[in-house]
């Protein structure tokens, strides 16, 4: 088994996918309504739990139709009303509770001020997020990276699958994978550039896994086939 270099993988995927502009937000909506686009990312990070992004998009559209995509509106909405708006994302009653809890937390502790919220030391903020009901490491780190622009790498099921199949020499658990990616990528990048790399690399892995590294992999024309032991075993 050859040791796989993450910087090489990132270079290959960047050549394939270029900039993916992730996390997608509706800037025009927020400009028109004078709302904070970062809350759309927070909302999306919760809604995308255990569902496809296409389902999340439908829920976000419903929230925008009702002008409910901001902290105060979520708090003021009746739970039944909110559940109906996000129904397409699945587990809508649970996600209603989670959206309301994080909204009330930001309201009560930070006066709904996301600048104040994200100005906190991100490691302490991560611990704070993880203390909230239904906020696990992937959701917390998505919020920190994409909404807060903090230097934290997001690990998901696609990242774990990539690590297993190439393979990448790391224990297949969230913390081990995250530490490995952060250690290796920070050897070359730092500051805002490192945050951008974390953003792009995670998004690239998601798109790559949906296109090629599926549960039943499509190894033909895979951009990583030359360094993938799983592909080579099939040849």
- CATH number reported for the structural domain that contains residue 105 in this entry: 1.10.340.30
33, pLDDT greater than 90: yes
Tell me, yes or no, whether 163 and 105 share the same domain. no
CA–chain centroid gap for 111, Å, is: 25
d(CA 107, CA 31): 21
Q: Is residue 157 located within the same domain as residue 99?
A: no
CA 1 to chain centre: 30
Answer whether residue 223 is part of any domain: yes
Mean per-residue pLDDT over the chain, rounded = 95
Check pLDDT > 80 for residue 143: yes
Is residue 184 assigned to a domain?
Answer: yes
- Give me the pLDDT at residue 153, please: 98
Residue pair 207/16 in contact by the 8 Å Cβ criterion:
no
Could you list the residue range(s) of the whole structural domain that residue 45 is in?
35-147
Say if residues 133 and 176 touch (Cβ distance below 8 Å).
Answer: no
Domain-located, residue 28: no
Which candidate, 166, 177, 162, places its Cα nearest to that of 215? 162
Q: Is the pLDDT of residue 185 over 80?
A: yes
Whether 129 and 170 share a structural domain: no
163, pLDDT greater than 90: yes
Place of tokens 């996301």: 114
Q: What percent of the chain has pLDDT over 90?
A: 94
Please give the average per-residue pLDDT across 22-27, as a whole number: 93
- pLDDT range class, residue 126, cuts 50, 70, 90: very high
Q: Is 30 a residue whose pLDDT tops 70? A: yes
3-state secondary structure string, 161-224?
A: HHHHHCCCCCCCCHHHHHHHHHHHHCCCCCHHHHHHHHHHHHHHHHHHHHHCCCCCCCCCCCCC
**C-alpha distances in Å from residue 90, one per residue of 5, 31, 85, 95:** 37, 29, 11, 8
Q: What is the pLDDT of residue 235?
A: 56
Question: What number is the average pLDDT over the span 200-224?
Answer: 96
Whether the pLDDT of residue 1 is over 80: the answer is no
């Amino acid at each position: 088994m050859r040791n796989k270099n993450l910087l090489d993988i990132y270079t290959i995927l960047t050549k394939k996918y270029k900039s993916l502009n992730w996390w997608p937000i509706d800037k025009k909506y927020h400009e028109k309504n004078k709302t904070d686009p970062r809350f759309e990312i927070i909302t999306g990070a919760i809604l995308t739990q255990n569902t496809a992004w296409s389902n999340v998009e439908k829920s976000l559209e419903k929230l925008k139709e009702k002008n409910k995509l901001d902290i105060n509106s979520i708090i003021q909405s009746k739970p039944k009303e909110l559940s109906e708006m996000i129904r397409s994302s699945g587990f809508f009653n649970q996600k209603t509770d989670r959206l309301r809890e994080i909204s009330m937390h930001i309201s009560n502790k930070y006066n709904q001020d996301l600048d104040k919220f994200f100005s906190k030391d991100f490691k302490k903020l991560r611990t704070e997020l993880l203390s909230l009901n239904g906020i696990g490491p992937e959701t917390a780190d998505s919020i920190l990276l994409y909404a807060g622009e903090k230097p934290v790498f997001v690990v998901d099921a696609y990242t774990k699958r990539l690590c297993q199949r190439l393979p990448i020499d790391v224990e297949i658990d969230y913390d081990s994978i995250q530490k490995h990616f952060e250690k290796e990528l920070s050897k070359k990048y730092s500051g805002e550039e490192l945050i951008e790399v974390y953003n792009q690399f995670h998004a690239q892995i998601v798109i790559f896994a949906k296109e090629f590294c599926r549960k039943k992999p499509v190894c033909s024309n895979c951009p990583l086939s030359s360094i993938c032991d799983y592909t080579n075993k099939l040849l």
